[in-house]
Amino acid sequence: MKIMLSQDKSGKLTVYVPKKDLEEEVVEETTTPEGKVVTLANGWELCLEDYNEESALPQTLRAKKLN
């Protein structure tokens, strides 16, 4: 699925999922061999493909829902 990763005004990472019209705050980040895994406030875990921390936000990325 496509997502948009951005920062809110307080500097926290947020994820927007257009097809679900869902915007949630990232509460946890981990790195795995497959890529960066983020946990959202609603409990979703997403594996972000092609995530580059050095690129400016917002970024549109491909993500895979893990749970």
Short-list 14, 10, 16, 11, CA closest to 27? 14
Task: Please count the structural domains in the chain.
Answer: 1
Separate counts of helices (H) and strands (E) for the chain = 0, 6
pTM of the model: 0.88
Q: What is the CA radius of gyration of the chain?
A: 11
pLDDT at res. 35: 86
CA–CA gap between residue 39 and residue 34 (Å, rounded): 15
C-alpha 41: how far from chain center: 11
Here the CATH number for the domain that contains residue 10 is 2.40.50.240
Structural domain of residue 8, as residue ranges?
Answer: 2-65
- Give residue-wise pLDDT tens across range 3-59: 999 998 998 999 999 999 999 999 999 998 888 999 999 999 999 988 888 888 999
